[in-house]
Structure 1
Amino acid sequence: MIRVFVLYDQEPDQLAQRETPEATIRHGRIPGSPQGEPEYRYYFEYEFADRDAWKRSQQGLMAAGEDAQTLGIGFKVFFAEVG
């Protein structure tokens, strides 16, 4: 399983609704951390069954990344192989 997750510095006012084939999408506000105030305020995740599904969805992910850049807030993208 592959997860692509995005951590936003602030909670976005809105998120673009992009089609990302073969992805299960989860997102939500980050309410805190063990140290108190969280470094990031919003979490967005795409989950793919395997590397092939992830590769087939690259076009949709790239378009979503372009949308994220227009939000005007900082973010970081990570990839994780979970299994």
Structure 2
Amino acid sequence: MRSAALLSLLLLAGCGGGHGRYEPPAVDNYGKSPEQLAKDQHECIEEKRAHGFVGDAGMITACMERRGYAILTPKG
């Protein structure tokens, strides 16, 4: 019984946050300041959040590409 409760807690902890869904891609930010990169990442993540579960997994990557970044590692 005790191990089942512990397993349940571990499974729930693994599901929390949803960070992978809203993780920005690795980009080449040559010519852009760190502040501009952070602003663009934030705005692209917020655009994805506004769509919730609707929208494809590459929304953040596509948003960063539209803003002129070369994508090194695509993400959601």
For normalisation by structure 1, the TM-score amounts to 0.33
Higher helix share: 2
For normalisation by structure 2, the TM-score amounts to 0.35
Larger Rg: 2
